[in-house]
């Protein structure tokens, strides 16, 4: 195995360990959040805190903050961990909620440095069935609440556009 491959393998191992630690909640407890204001255009942390506020803050969907805003591993974005998920920010995609089975799959795939890149939307329900979808720069992750199945659809130039609703209805069975 070449030195380059060994280094790359070691970096993947370190990255996986850091993701596991973050999912296990190895963070200090904090519950403060900022309100939107004029500094939002300049401060990624303020954008994350504004999204947190939109989601209800400590009494909302995410619960209390578990850590301060941190730099992502690629150095281009920021994130913050909460009791029930994460908010990730990137200058080209904004601040978005990622949680649960969708966050777990995204982490396994390398999170922002993986094939999907950064989130481009908050996790959302797929109309007409039991699924939830998270959109990313280079694809999407779909999760079925009924079956627990999770799948990834990576975007490729020659890949036909797919509807998460169609695949979800097929996977989950009759509605």
Grouped pLDDT means (10 residues each) for the chain, 175 residues: 49 46 38 39 86 95 95 95 97 96 95 95 90 94 90 62 49 33
Task: Based on the fold, state whether residues 2 and 78 are members of the same structural domain.
Answer: yes
Secondary structure in 3-state letters for the chain: CCHHHHHHHHHHHHHHHHHHHHHCCCCCCECCCCCCCHHHHCCHHHHHHHHHHHCCHHHCCCCCECCCCEECCCCCCEEEEECCEEEEEECCCEEEEECHHHHHHHHHCCHHHCCCCCECCCCEECCCCCEEEEEECCEEEEEECCCCCEEEEECCCCCCCCCHHHHHHHHHCCC
Q: Can you give the pLDDT at residue 121?
A: 95
Task: Based on the fold, state whether residues 82 and 3 are members of the same structural domain.
Answer: yes
Task: Based on the fold, state whether residues 92 and 105 are members of the same structural domain.
Answer: no
Task: Based on the fold, state whether residues 132 and 174 are members of the same structural domain.
Answer: yes
Positive/negative CA dihedral, 4, 15, 79, 121: positive
Task: Based on the fold, state whether residues 85 and 107 are members of the same structural domain.
Answer: no
Q: Which of residues 36, 70, 96 is at a domain's end?
A: 96
Q: Can you give the pLDDT at residue 11?
A: 44
Q: Which of residues 79, 96, 113 is at a domain's end?
A: 96
Boundaries of domain holding 35 = 1-96
Task: Based on the fold, state whether residues 108 and 35 are members of the same structural domain.
Answer: no
Q: Which of residues 96, 125, 141 is at a domain's end?
A: 96
Q: Can you give the pLDDT at residue 103?
A: 95
Task: Based on the fold, state whether residues 49 and 111 are members of the same structural domain.
Answer: no
Q: Can you give the pLDDT at residue 21?
A: 40
Task: Based on the fold, state whether residues 34 and 105 are members of the same structural domain.
Answer: no
Question: What pTM did the predictor assign?
Answer: 0.68
Q: Can you give the pLDDT at residue 119?
A: 97
Task: Based on the fold, state whether residues 92 and 151 are members of the same structural domain.
Answer: no
Task: Based on the fold, state whether residues 145 and 86 are members of the same structural domain.
Answer: no
Provide the token pair at 127.
């109309």
CB atoms within 10 A of CB 6: 10
Task: Based on the fold, state whether residues 42 and 75 are members of the same structural domain.
Answer: yes
Q: How many structural domains is the chain composed of?
A: 2
Q: Can you give the pLDDT at residue 73?
A: 93
Task: Based on the fold, state whether residues 56 and 118 are members of the same structural domain.
Answer: no
């Amino acid at each position: 195995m070449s030195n380059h491959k060994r280094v790359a393998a070691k970096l993947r191992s370190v990255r996986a360990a850091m993701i596991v630690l973050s999912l296990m909640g190895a963070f200090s407890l904090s519950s403060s959040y900022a309100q939107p204001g004029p500094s939002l255009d300049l401060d990624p942390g303020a954008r994350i805190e504004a999204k947190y506020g939109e989601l209800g803050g400590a009494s909302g969907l995410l619960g209390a903050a578990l850590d301060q805003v941190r730099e992502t591993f690629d150095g281009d974005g920021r994130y913050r961990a909460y009791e029930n998920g994460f908010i990730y920010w990137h200058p080209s995609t904004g601040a978005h909620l990622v949680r649960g089975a969708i966050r777990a799959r995204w982490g396994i795939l390398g999170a922002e440095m993986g094939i999907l890149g950064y989130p481009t939307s908050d996790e959302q329900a797929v109309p007409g069935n039991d699924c939830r979808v998270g959109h990313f720069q280079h694809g999407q992750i779909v999760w079925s609440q009924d079956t627990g199945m999770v799948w990834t659809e990576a975007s490729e130039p020659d890949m036909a556009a797919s509807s998460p609703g169609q695949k979800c209805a097929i996977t989950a069975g009759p509605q």
